[in-house]
Amino acid sequence: MNAPHHSKVAGIDSTVPTPAHTVAPAPPVPGTAPVPAPNSPAPSTLLQDRLAGWVSDLTTLHELTERLARTDSLDGALQELLCAGAALVGARRGLVVLEPADGLGPETTLGLGLGRADLGHIETVPRDAMSYGELLDTAAGLPGGGGEIVHPDLFAEDGLDPRHREVAARLGYAASYALTLSTEAADRLGAAVWLYDEPAEPNERQRHLAGLYVRCGTEHLARLLEVARTRACMATISEELLPSRLPRVAGVQLAARHRTGPRGGGDWYDALPLPDAALGLAVGSVTGSGPSAVAAMGRLRASLRAYAVMEGEDPVAVLSDLELLLRLTEPARSATALFAYCEPALRKVTLAGAGHSPPLLIGERRTEFAETSVSAPLGMLACWEAPSVEFQAEAGETVLLYTDGLLHRTGDPTDRAFARLHAAAASVPRAMRRDPGAIADHVLRTVLPDGLEAADSEEDVVLLAARFD
């Protein structure tokens, strides 16, 4: 009959070594009655002390893992893991190498208390001489492997690589402790190394806590890695569906800026040469986000290009055909679009819009929105049609087309967002007005001063600038 055993307490491993701040009672001598040592604590006091230590450790792990779980970016999670790990093992500096075993990336190296130059020095050390190299290139770094490498006194090791000795002396570290970042599901993701200024090594309790924390943190890293890969894939697909380069047309200079939201959106732009030395400019946005919106954006843009080549001189006809196609093929989706037929030799622009924001004219003597007719987005009405408008650009003026994502990312009401955009365009320095790319960059920086990533929106942003000579 098996001996009875105590039930496990959630979060406490019965194999946890005795914490350093507790003292285990000495085993009794066979055949003699246990004699308590003078002034020794009662067994209940020892048990309370041990339980208090476990509770303290669990509380620390809970707080650190909660902080890690609040990170929503891969770099932020890696930095948090480095900082928390350093506190657990008693180190001051360290580095983490992200190098997924599947080879799909991303790969990066981040430091704690180490500048770029310091990381550059470390990278000059042969890979197999560094702890992270040993973990990443051997079975020790795989799930079920050794998982940790301890160098308590680097300069006392006979086989230390000369270059490693030189770099350690230059950077002022004498010991290291490394853990692999791996999970059963995601395999090996990388390795973390913490550096000590003096010869040292973490004790058993510190190593146990660090191991538990890193094991939990790696699961979070694996999820963030999948998110980062998905976002990068969506951004790549979106970029590939847009023009790889803008055409060169006499009498006009072109520049475009496109930023994809983290989930991938349906904002797009296009510029294509047309017969009779004309130029077609288009911007638009498909409702929704994610792969379906990106695919719909690609289909809509390709269709508009075909209609523009056939009847580009009539922007209303181009958008009417596009609306009919959208209604027949994707009745559950709507889109906004603006198409402009430009004659650079005459600096004449004829445009039509479907639920889209009006373009902005930027010049020496005026900065104003072009007056366009109010119309519904494509797919919202049984039959779309709105009159086109025509205006004349002056020499040196720039026509700026943009999507609503630029306005939404400001977080302001529509009227204030338009006012901010107008003020940004009016404040373009005189020296920048000859370069449409510089104008677009200035507008982005001014309208979104906190940056695209910090803005309060996940929508795409598109700017298309055309400067007439």
pLDDT digits (tens, 9 = 90+) for 36-61: 555 656 667 777 777 777 888 888 88
Same domain, 95 and 211: yes
Res. 425: pLDDT tops 80? yes
Res. 452: pLDDT tops 60? no
Half-sphere exposure of 136 (CA within 13 A, CB side): 21
Average pLDDT over residues 400-413: 89
Res. 21: pLDDT tops 50? no
Same domain, 142 and 289: no
Out of 192, 213, 232, a domain closes at: 232
pLDDT at 5: 40
Rounded to whole angstroms, how far apart are CA atoms 222 and 238?
A: 24
Same domain, 301 and 442: yes
Task: Round the average pLDDT of the chain to a whole number and report it.
Answer: 84
Q: What are phi and psi of 75, to 5 degrees?
A: -65, -40
Out of 181, 203, 232, a domain closes at: 232
Res. 18: pLDDT tops 50? no
Same domain, 324 and 223: no
Same domain, 391 and 291: yes
Average pLDDT over residues 226-251: 83
Q: How many domains does the chain have?
A: 2
Same domain, 288 and 190: no
What's the CATH code of the domain at 179?
3.30.450.40
**By mean pLDDT, which of 7-16, 62-71, 336-345 is the weakest?**
7-16
pLDDT at 388: 86
Let me know if residue 416 belongs to a domain.
yes
Let me know if residue 265 belongs to a domain.
yes
What's the CATH code of the domain at 459?
3.60.40.10
pLDDT tens digits, one per residue of 364-394: 889 999 887 768 888 876 666 778 889 999 9
Same domain, 396 and 248: yes
Q: CA 91, 184, 216 angle in degrees (round to 5)? A: 40
pLDDT at 16: 39
| Residue range(s) defining the domain that contains residue 146 | 56-232
pLDDT tens digits, one per residue of 177-205: 999 998 877 688 999 999 999 999 999 99
Same domain, 223 and 249: no
Same domain, 394 and 336: yes
Same domain, 187 and 291: no
Let me know if residue 28 belongs to a domain.
no
Taking CA atoms, 351 is separated from 79, 271, 308, 390, in Å, by 50, 14, 12, 6
Let me know if residue 44 belongs to a domain.
no
Res. 351: pLDDT tops 80? yes
Out of 208, 232, 256, a domain closes at: 232
Model pTM score: 0.63
Q: Identify the band that residue 126 occupies on the pLDDT scale cut at 50, 70 and 90.
A: very high
pLDDT at 9: 35
Let me know if residue 64 belongs to a domain.
yes
Let me know if residue 12 belongs to a domain.
no
Let me know if residue 263 belongs to a domain.
yes
pLDDT at 48: 77
Same domain, 252 and 165: no
Residue scoring higher pLDDT (142 or 203): 203
Let me know if residue 25 belongs to a domain.
no
Same domain, 211 and 291: no
pLDDT at 453: 53
pLDDT at 264: 66
pLDDT tens digits, one per residue of 296-326: 888 889 999 999 999 889 999 999 899 888 8
CA of residue 435 relative to chain centroid, distance: 30
Res. 135: pLDDT tops 60? yes
pLDDT at 298: 87
Residue scoring higher pLDDT (245 or 466): 466
Query: Are the beta carbons of 48 and 19 closer than 8 angstroms?
Result: no
Average pLDDT over residues 24-31: 47
pLDDT at 224: 92
pLDDT tens digits, one per residue of 95-111: 999 999 888 889 999 99
CA distance between the termini of the chain: 96
